[in-house]
Chain A
Amino acid sequence: MSTALSIHDLAIALPAGADRAFAVRNISFDLQEREILCVVGESGSGKSMTANALMGLLPDLVHVTEGAAVFEGRDLFSLPDSARRALRGDRIGMIFQEPMSALNPLMRIGDQIAEVYEAHNRFTPAERKERALSLIGEVGLPDPEKIIRAYPFQLSGGQRQRAMIAMALALDPAILIADEPTTALDVTTQAQILELIKTIQQRHGMAVMFITHDFGVVAEIADRVIVMRYGDIVEQGSAAQVLEAPQHDYTRALLAAIPSDSVPEPHPVTTAPVLEVRDLRKTYVTSGGLFKPTRSVTAIDGVSFTVARGEVLGIVGESGSGKSTVGRAIVRLVEPDSGQILLDGEDMNALTPQQLRHARRRVQMIFQDPYASLNPRKKILSAISEGPITQGVPVAEAHARARELLDTVGLEASAAERFPHEFSGGQRQRIGIARALAMDPDLIIADEAVSALDVSIQAQVLELLRDLQQRLGLSLLFITHDLRVAAQLCDRIAVMQRGKLVEIGPVSDVFLTPKAEYTRNLLAAVPGADWGNRAATAS
Chain B
Amino acid sequence: MTLLAAILARAAKAAITLLMIVILNFFLIHAAPGDPAAVMAGENGAADQIYIDQLRAQFGLDQPLYVQFYKYVGGVLQLDLGYSYRQQMPVLDLILDRLPATLLLTMTAFGMSLLLGVVFGLAAAARVGRWSDSAITGMALLFYATPLYWVALMAVLLFSVQLNWLPAFGYESVGAGYTGLAMVLDRLRHLALPALTLGLFFMAVYLRMTRSSVLEVSQMDFVKTARAKGLSEGIIRRRHILRNALLPVVTLAGLQAGQLVGGAVLTETVFAWPGIGRLMFDSLTARDYNTLLGVFLVSAAMVILFNILTDIVYRLIDPRIAAGGAA
Q: Does B238 contact A (CB under 8 A)?
A: no
CA distance A290 to B244 in the complex (A): 29
Cβ A103 vs Cβ B319 within 8 A? no
List chain B residues, Cβ under 8 A from A394.
none
Is there an interface contact between A86 and B244, defined as CB atoms closer than 8 Å?
Answer: no
A291 with B230: CB separation less than 8 A:
no
| Least CB distance, A85 to chain B, in whole angstroms | 5
Known A106-B318, A153-B320, A291-B9; contact A57-B230, beta-carbon cutoff 8 A: no
Give the residue of A55, A57, A94, A103 whose beta carbon is less than 8 angstroms from that of B222: A103
Q: Which residues of A contact B9 (CB under 8 A)?
A: 289-292
The smallest beta-carbon distance between A131 and chain B, in angstroms, is 14
Which of A4-12, A112-120, A460-468, A475-483 is the contact stretch?
A112-120
Contact indicator B229/A55 (Cβ below 8 Å): no
Tell me how far the C-beta of A103 lies from the nearest C-beta in chain B, rounded to whole angstroms: 6
Say whether B222 contacts A105, CB under 8 Å.
yes
A238, CB-defined interface residue at 8 Å: no
Of the listed residues A103, A104, A153, the one surrounded by the most CB atoms of chain B closer than 10 A to its CB is A104
Q: Is the interface of A mostly helix, strand, loop or mixed?
A: loop
Q: Which of A55, A107, A154, A289 contacts B228 (CB 8 A)?
A: A55
- What B residues does A90 contact at CB under 8 A? 230
Interface string of A36-60 (1 = CB under 8 A from B): 0000000000000000000111000
B222–A290 touching, CB < 8 Å: no
Among A57, A151, A168, A292, the residue within 8 A (CB) of B224 is A57
Interface residues of A in 115-173 (CB under 8 A from B): 115-116, 118-120, 151, 153-154, 164, 167-168
CB contacts (< 8 Å) of A389 on chain B: these are: none
- A93/B228 in contact, CB under 8 A: yes
Residues of B within 8 A of A102 (CB): 221-222, 224-225
| A210 contacts the other chain (CB 8 A) | no
User: Given the interface contacts A85-B232, A104-B244, A115-B231, does A153 sit within 8 Å of B325 by beta carbon?
Assistant: yes
Q: Are A96's CB and B224's CB within 8 A?
A: yes
- Bitwise, B297-326 to A at CB < 8 A (1) or not (0) is 000000000000000000001111001011
Closest to A288 in B: B1
Contact A88 B227, beta carbon cutoff 8 Å: yes
How far is it, in angstroms, between the C-alpha of A151 and the C-alpha of B244 when the chains are bound?
14
Chain A residues with Cβ under 8 A from B323's Cβ? 151, 153-154
- Please report which residues of chain B, range 1-25, place their CB below 8 angstroms from some CB of chain A when the two chains form the complex: 1, 5-6, 8-9, 12
A105, A115, A167, A291: the one within 8 Å of B244 (CB): A105
State the Cβ distance, B91 to closest chain A Cβ, in Å. 33
CB neighbours (8 Å) of A103 from chain B are 222, 225
Counting CB contacts under 8 A, is A223 at the interface? no
Contact, CB under 8 Å: B228 / A101: no
Residues of A within 8 A of B222 (CB): 101-105
Flag whether A98 is at the interface (Cβ < 8 A): yes
CB proximity of A377 to chain B, nearest CB, Å: 26
A56 to B228, CA, bound (A): 9
In the assembled complex, A89 has its CB within 8 A of some CB on chain B = yes
Chain B contacts for A94, CB-based, 8 A: 228
Task: Provide the A58-90 mask, 1 if CB < 8 A to any CB of B, else 0.
Answer: 000000000000000000000000000111111
* Residue pair B12, A104 in contact (C-beta under 8 Å): no
Please state if A96 and B325 are interface contacts (CB–CB under 8 Å).
no
Q: CB-CB < 8 A to A164: which residues of B?
A: 225
Are the CB atoms of B5 and A291 closer together than 8 Å? yes
Can you list 19 A-B contacts with CB-CB less than 8 angstroms, sorted by A residue number? A86-B230, A88-B230, A101-B220, A104-B225, A105-B320, A106-B243, A106-B244, A106-B247, A115-B229, A115-B239, A116-B229, A118-B231, A119-B229, A119-B235, A151-B319, A153-B323, A167-B229, A289-B9, A290-B12
Interface residues of A (CB under 8 A from B): 55-57, 85-90, 93-94, 96, 98, 101-107, 115-116, 118-120, 151, 153-154, 164, 167-168, 289-292
Known contacts A116-B229, A118-B231; 6 additional CB pairs below 8 A are A104-B226, A104-B244, A105-B222, A115-B231, A151-B320, A167-B229
Residues of B that sit less than 8 Å from A by CB:
1, 5-6, 8-9, 12, 220-222, 224-232, 235, 239-240, 243-244, 247, 317-320, 323, 325-327
Closest 4 CB pairs of A and B: A89-B230, A88-B230, A89-B229, A101-B221
